[in-house]
Amino acid sequence: MGKGDKRTKRGKLFSGTYGKSRPSKRNKKRMQKNKTKQNEGQE
């Protein structure tokens, strides 16, 4: 597990891609909004 492993955060940094282990900053806001909407529905 190192720079060549695309599933790890280090590998994502090295290849310059985003994914589950390295989410992009622009998707972070969307994810927080979705979580709050989901939590409101559960209460």
Contact between 31 and 37 under an 8 Å Cβ cutoff? The reply is no
Q: How many CA atoms lie within 13 A of 21 on its CB side?
A: 11
| Parent domain of 14 | 9-42
In a domain, 3, yes or no: no
pLDDT exceeds cutoff 60 at 43: no
pLDDT exceeds cutoff 60 at 1: yes
- State the burial class of residue 20 (Cβ atoms within 10 Å of its Cβ: 0-12, 13-18, 19+): exposed
Of the pLDDT bands very low, low, confident and very high (cuts 50, 70, 90), residue 41 is low
Task: Domain count for the chain, please give it.
Answer: 1
For residue 24, the Cα-to-chain-centroid distance in whole angstroms is: 6
2-39: pLDDT as tens digits: 888 888 888 888 888 888 888 888 755 666 676 676 66
In a domain, 1, yes or no: no
In a domain, 35, yes or no: yes
Place of tokens 């790890």: 8
